[in-house]
Structure 1
Amino acid sequence: MPNPPWDVMISTCPSRTSLARIANKWTAMIVIALDGDPLRFGALREAVDGISGKVLTETLRDLERDGIVSRTMYNEMPPRVEYQLTGLGQTLRGPLSALGQWAEEHIEDVLRARGEYDERSA
């Protein structure tokens, strides 16, 4: 049986939920931060400056549910939990890193455009 024709432009297409998840700024930053060795929660929170513990927890759960991040709990005292990208999550590294790089490379252009727009709108 062939796959259905997924199309994010159709409101009922389930691929929209995936697009919404990966287009989320926190998702992008978490994927970029996990580009390497597994990280513990605290290290991940440090790497993603400005994210609250609650939002990090919720986003990690959503990413785990979607198969993008894996959570490994070690039977130690104190308990240790690490997060890392799954194989599926690894496929997001390139596109999301490229978006982050684009944002860094073009922020001056964006800020200049905003200033010009605001001057015209004032």
Structure 2
Amino acid sequence: MTNHLNFNVYHPNCPSRLFFDNMADKWVLFILDTLKVQAQHFNSLKKAIIGISPKVLSQKLKMLERDGFIDRKTLDTRPIKVEYSLTPLGKELAETAFQFKLWAESHMQYVLDAQRKYDESSQ
């Protein structure tokens, strides 16, 4: 039986705060959502996630691998290719990221309307 620790995200020294720091990043959410569909190579990810730099993509992939959300597999090809895929934990988190995506796409007009209304009233 696993002894689960009690984590409290509101406590300043709780490690779950670092999780929120890492996950509250648009690139992480985009990577998770992109890998949700299928495993991909680095260049495929770079093409699919418009605007991400190779350096940032590499950093985020390493972080996600370290945290147990993605697997990195070196393929025995010429030239050698690396493939990234979601772990079971990553798949679960990707579903949450996908819900954020759906929410943003279906509610963005309300946000834009609220911003416009606020900006007009504060002039």
TM range (shorter): over 0.9
Q: State the AA in 2 paired with 1:69.
A: I
Change over 3 Å in CA distance of 1:14–1:75 after alignment to 2: same
Secondary structure of the residue aligned to 1:4 is coil
Unaligned runs of 5+ in 1: none
Partner of 1:70: 71
Moved over 2 A (4+): 1-4
Partner of 1:86: 87
Q: TM-score, normalised by structure 2?
A: 0.93
Q: State the AA in 2 paired with 1:7.
A: N
Q: State the AA in 1 paired with 2:12.
A: S
Counterparts of 1:15 and 1:49 in 2: how far apart (Å)? 29
**RMSD between aligned residues:** 1.3
Q: State the AA in 2 paired with 1:77.
A: R
Unaligned runs of 5+ in 2: none
Secondary structure of the residue aligned to 1:34 is helix
Identity among equivalent positions (%) equals: 38
Paired positions, count: 122
Partner of 1:98: 99
Q: Deviations over 1:57-88 (max 9, x none)?
A: 11001101101111111122111111010111
